[in-house]
Amino acid sequence: MLGLYRFLKYSAILLWSAFVAGPFLWALTTSFKTSEGIVSGATYIPWLQYKPSLDGWGVLFRRGGQGIDIVDPYLASLTVTLSASAISLVLGTLAAYGLSRFSYKAGPIKNADITFFFISQRIMPPIVLSIPFFLMLQAFGLLDTKLGLIIVYVALLMPIAVWVMIDFFHNIPVELDETAMLDGCRPVETFFRVILPNCKPGLVVAGLFCLIFGWNDFFFAFMLTFTKTQLLPVAVVALNSSVTPWWSLSASALVSVAPLVILAFVVEKYLSRGNLAGAIK
Amino acid sequence: MLVSRQKLIFLLPGLLVLVAIIIFPLLFTIRVSFSSWDVMYPGLDWIGGKNYSRLFSDSRFWESLQRLAGIAVGTVVIEYLLGFGLALLVWKEVRYKRFFRVLFLVPMMTTPVIMSVIWRTIFHESLGPLNNILGFLGLGQVPWLSTAGMAVVSVMMVEIWQWTPFMFLLLLAGLLSLPKEPFQAAAIDGAGPFRTFFMVTFPLMAPISIGTLIIRLIEASKIMETVYVLTSGGPGTATETSSYYIYIRGLRDFQIGYAASLSVTYLVLMILALTILAKFLVRAFISKDKA
Amino acid sequence: MSLIIDNVSKSVDGEIHLQDIHLTMQKGSFNTLLGPTLSGKTSLLRLLAGLDKPTSGRIMMGGQDLSSIPVWKRNVSMVYQQFINYPHLDIYENIAFPLRRAGLAKAEIDRKVRATAETLRIDELLRRSPGELSGGQQQRTALARSLVKGADLLLLDEPLINLDYKLREEFHDEFTNIFADNRDTIIIYSSTDPLESLLLGGDILVLDEGRQLQHGPTHDVYRNPRMEAVARVFNDPQMNMINGRVENGRIVLGQGLTLPRSTHMTDLREGKYRFGLRANALGLSRASADDVELEARVELGEINGSETFVHIHHNEVSWVVQEDGVHTHSLGQVIRVYFNPEYLFAFDEKGMLAAAPKYVPGSGTAEE
């Protein structure tokens, strides 16, 4: 009975692992193929089923002519995502702290309403905002620039940071803040000297979520940039035509998704923690 | 007291930035929805509710909403069941638990459009591995992207692959934060694993389940990128979701005014539907709890 | 420098937490704040700390109204029920934190931190982080941090409630030393435990349902509770209260237990009274020739630490007897209990004290 249960359990785990890993493994093997390796139908094992080549990887770093040049979009994506995530994290964490510790009032608007305003931004479908964003950035001359995208992404990512951090701050006893104030800290000093140093688990999770949704956005990058600025997802999807060079497509896809996947393994211990505020009892 | 001035330092920067970025686009979209802005005559002329009366008889829009509802609810329910199951699998002692926990999260970390491009090669009917494997197993060939029914299945499959990890993450975090006492009590009462699950685990997870389902429904209501890459809404309009239809009207046909009215209607309906769904979920989970 | 609490009230959302608190505390005094849970102890401490604002009234310190001074500029320390320390700092830095904020010189900080840590016997733990310490050690750290800065006002909000019985006793012994040579600080210690307040001595403020019932030297208040409510709060187990009357020069308890009028009752006018008798004034054996004997049925035996509380029933009235040591009594058993009428309190119909015993039971001699 127990043996069967264990067998089923590990089978289920392995089956899902295969489903999760399948597309990556397929992309990995495809990235070493040439056109002959593609047109002869699905093959999996290099040397045995097809002759591996590094062409798919080579073109990624070549400019002009035959090259695809993934380096510039890569750097652009890094700049935009990191800047927008950092700004969102800073502003979002401050706002979340304020909302979790003080009461604000402006007419009938109270804390709960402000919190809802922040978080409800996630309901907004990108398509609803895309046209006005386009016109707004055009008006400010920010169309097709990194700065324009950073501004748009801040609106996308700040709600995520607020959502994660409010939850986190609610788990820190308010007596900790009070003790700091009694020990001579103003509210701002209390936050920076006492609360912030104890926020690492929350900041890691909030930061990772910001990076995920920023790095992985396609729609706004596609809508709001054209030639001067090109982000990674747009560059990769541009390869998705009928005469797709599957090998370089696969290689570029792997290069694009690698950073966050690696980051996930690095910050693993923060992700599966039950209580995100586990560091502070 | 002085606190009242200092507390604004925390809230205002974020709030003002968000208001500045969001409010203009939102108000502008509403204004544009009352104009006939298109590729020939761009501008904010006032045509009253004409766009809105047009969309009432635009069956393609209403069909896209129905389709979206079906796809979103379908994928989220499947994601919830799978995510809960997976979280239960790696909740307790499992070998290489930490490795599997992260591995299960990986799809969520990847760019949806980019992975959709890879999925498109996997679904390829003659050169892709999926039909190759089915053929090897003697199950025949499946027209993954070229027939209406299978195209919907394909889109849902990619969505499930991408977002089950998100469910998994939040549900696992929920499971790990559960108190131990109810489980000890159930064990003392001699409850088996199934009774323990339905009498203890599931009721305790109800609030987290509701929250997770709502968050995912919100995100799923925006499905568009997967469709854009995999099927472009096709074959025909078989996989056309509301976002994608608005995209076609607004950014392909450049009927900006009409697309804006579609956007506003879509947003209002989304908020209504999600509010009703949230209420329904609360009742469904909490009443089960008491029964 | 004295602390004046001038007619302070506090209500939150229409609910009254504190009403008309009015008293003065002197520099160098030790005050306990005794009251049951939700009696307003924490509310009062938070007002004094400046963490909350009174709804009405003023709090003055050294002649200055405190309401205009923000928390971080007041020289106040507070220790909470929960063990609150800075998780990211080690014990040394935790204790040094308020000193660093005050801008003291390095050498001075070091000297003070080490001296305070030694007083609280955590000098071996200075490089550990709070998360690695036991509850008792964490609370010692919090105490050290609150003591080190030499605050004008030191507030302790039931600091030992989350520790076990043994550790609490250990702390009580040490507190006598720690607070002994206090000259400059007003210390306010809140507690739900009458015994704890008696051990700590000093002055006491008895609170109940947000009202200030009595303020004065702890032992005076214990001996002369101004009203029945004070006697109720200040006794654990609660004081036995029996309706009765003074009639024809004699005292009648309950349905007809007639006693001679003892010396402290001679001034009482005839009429109805409520008579109080501490549980520890009742015994299972005769202690003196004046003792009155009751035959009573055992309703419940309750063992509390090293004492047994026997709930008995005599002639329609329930009593609690506090017995030293652990004893078992079978329910329904009929036993004889004794008490000396010298130990009876009398409260008038308004609940105010009419007569208090001259002696405190236990030693058998007058305690002055």
- Mean pLDDT of all residues in C215-243: 88
pLDDT digits (tens, 9 = 90+) for A94-142: 999 999 998 888 888 888 888 888 888 888 888 888 888 888 888 899 9
User: With pLDDT > 70 as the criterion, what percentage of chain A qualifies?
Assistant: 92
> Considering only alpha carbons, which residue of chain C is nearest residue A279?
C87
Q: Kindly report the nearest CA distance between residue B100 and chain A, in angstroms.
A: 8
Q: What is the pLDDT of residue A200?
A: 87
The one-letter amino acid code at A241 reads: S
Of A185, A198, A280, the CB nearest to C72: A185
CA C227, CA C354: separation in Å to the nearest integer?
Answer: 9
Of C72, C82, C142, the CB nearest to A186: C72
Angle at C60 between CA C57 and CA C63, to 5 degrees: 135
B20's CB contacts (< 8 A; 6+ apart) are none
> Considering only alpha carbons, which residue of chain A is nearest residue C145?
A183
Chain A contact present for B128, CB below 8 A: yes
Residues B90, A13: C-beta atoms closer than 8 Å: yes
User: With pLDDT > 90 as the criterion, what percentage of chain B qualifies?
Assistant: 19
Q: What is the pLDDT of residue A243?
A: 56
> Considering only alpha carbons, which residue of chain A is nearest residue B19?
A155
Contact between B198 and B54 under an 8 Å Cβ cutoff? The reply is no
The SS3 call for residue C258 is strand
Domains of chain B are: 58-290 (1.10.3720.10)
CA A247, CA B210: separation in Å to the nearest integer?
Answer: 42
pLDDT digits (tens, 9 = 90+) for A16-27: 999 999 999 998
Q: Which of A183, A205, A198 is nearest to A97 (CA)?
A: A198
Examine the pLDDT at C91 and tell me if it is beyond 90. yes
Superfamily of chain region A71-271: MetI-like (1.10.3720.10)
Q: pLDDT class for A210, splitting at 50, 70, 90?
A: very high
Q: What is the pLDDT of residue C244?
A: 87
> Considering only alpha carbons, which residue of chain C is nearest residue B2?
C70
| Length reported for chain C | 368
Q: pLDDT class for C246, splitting at 50, 70, 90?
A: confident
Chain B contact present for A184, CB below 8 A: no
CA A192, CA A207: separation in Å to the nearest integer?
Answer: 18
Q: Kindly report the nearest CA distance between residue A93 and chain C, in angstroms.
A: 19
Examine the pLDDT at B203 and tell me if it is beyond 80. yes
Q: Which helix (H) or strand (E) holds B252?
A: none
- Of B7-11, B38-42, C89-93, C337-341, the poorest mean pLDDT is in B38-42
Q: pLDDT class for A280, splitting at 50, 70, 90?
A: very low
- Considering only residues C114 and A278, tell me which one the structure prediction assigns the higher pLDDT: C114
Token pair of A125 as six digits: 């479908």
Say if strands C203-208 and C211-217 run parallel, antiparallel, or are unpaired: antiparallel
Examine the pLDDT at A273 and tell me if it is beyond 60. no
Q: What is the pLDDT of residue A158?
A: 94
Q: pLDDT class for C363, splitting at 50, 70, 90?
A: very low
Q: Which helix (H) or strand (E) holds B142?
A: none
* Helical spans, DSSP H, in chain A: 2-30, 35-39, 55-58, 71-101, 111-120, 126-139, 146-170, 174-182, 187-189, 200-215, 219-224, 232-237, 246-266, 268-271
Chain B contact present for A277, CB below 8 A: no
Contact between B240 and B62 under an 8 Å Cβ cutoff? The reply is no
Q: Which of C105, C187, C96 is nearest to C144 (CA)?
A: C96
Chain B contact present for C336, CB below 8 A: no
Residue ranges of the domains in chain A? Answer: 71-271
Superfamily of chain region C3-229: P-loop containing nucleotide triphosphate hydrolases (3.40.50.300)
Token pair of C154 as six digits: 């030191």
- Of A58-72, B120-134, C227-241, C320-334, the poorest mean pLDDT is in A58-72
Q: What is the pLDDT of residue A277?
A: 34
CA C213, CA C206: separation in Å to the nearest integer?
Answer: 5
Contact between B172 and B85 under an 8 Å Cβ cutoff? The reply is no
Cis preceding-peptide flag for B235 (omega within 30 of 0): yes
Question: Which range in A111-125, A150-164, B123-137 is most confidently predicted, on average pLDDT?
Answer: A150-164
CA C266, CA C251: separation in Å to the nearest integer?
Answer: 10
A21's CB contacts (< 8 A; 6+ apart) are B103, B106
Q: Kindly report the nearest CA distance between residue C98 and chain A, in angstroms.
A: 5
* Helical spans, DSSP H, in B177-220: 181-188, 193-196, 202-220
For helices A246-266 and A2-30, what crossing angle results, to 10°?
130
CA C368, CA C352: separation in Å to the nearest integer?
Answer: 23
Of A118, A122, A125, the CB nearest to B266: A125
- Considering only residues C351 and A195, tell me which one the structure prediction assigns the higher pLDDT: A195
State the average pLDDT for chain C: 87
pLDDT digits (tens, 9 = 90+) for B232-266: 887 888 888 888 999 888 888 888 888 889 999 99
Chain C contact present for A147, CB below 8 A: no
Examine the pLDDT at B288 and tell me if it is beyond 60. no
CA B260, CA B22: separation in Å to the nearest integer?
Answer: 15
Q: Kindly report the nearest CA distance between residue B3 and chain C, in angstroms.
A: 8
Q: What is the pLDDT of residue B289?
A: 46
- Mean pLDDT of all residues in A4-28: 89
pLDDT digits (tens, 9 = 90+) for C192-202: 988 888 888 88
Chain C contact present for B5, CB below 8 A: no
Q: What is the pLDDT of residue C217?
A: 92
Q: pLDDT class for A66, splitting at 50, 70, 90?
A: low
- Mean pLDDT of all residues in B56-83: 91
Q: Which residue has the tokens 């004794």?
A: C338
End-to-end CA distance of chain C: 29
The ipTM (two decimal places) reads 0.87
Contact between A260 and A215 under an 8 Å Cβ cutoff? The reply is yes
Residues A198, C51: C-beta atoms closer than 8 Å: no
Examine the pLDDT at C46 and tell me if it is beyond 90. yes
The SS3 call for residue B176 is helix
Q: Kindly report the nearest CA distance between residue C281 and chain A, in angstroms.
A: 42
Residues B119, A23: C-beta atoms closer than 8 Å: yes
Q: pLDDT class for A242, splitting at 50, 70, 90?
A: low
Of B9, B172, B267, the CB nearest to A272: B172
> Considering only alpha carbons, which residue of chain C is nearest residue B6?
C70
CATH number of this structure's domain C240-355, picked from the four choices 2.40.50.140, 3.30.465.10, 3.40.50.720, 2.10.210.10: 2.40.50.140
Chain B contact present for C53, CB below 8 A: yes
Q: What is the pLDDT of residue C264?
A: 82
Distance of CA B205 to the CA centre of its chain: 21
Q: pLDDT class for C97, splitting at 50, 70, 90?
A: very high
Chain C contact present for A186, CB below 8 A: yes
Chain A contact present for C171, CB below 8 A: no
Torsion angle in degrees (nearest 10) through CA of B41, B46, B49, B50: -30
How many interchain CB pairs under 8 A, A with C?
54
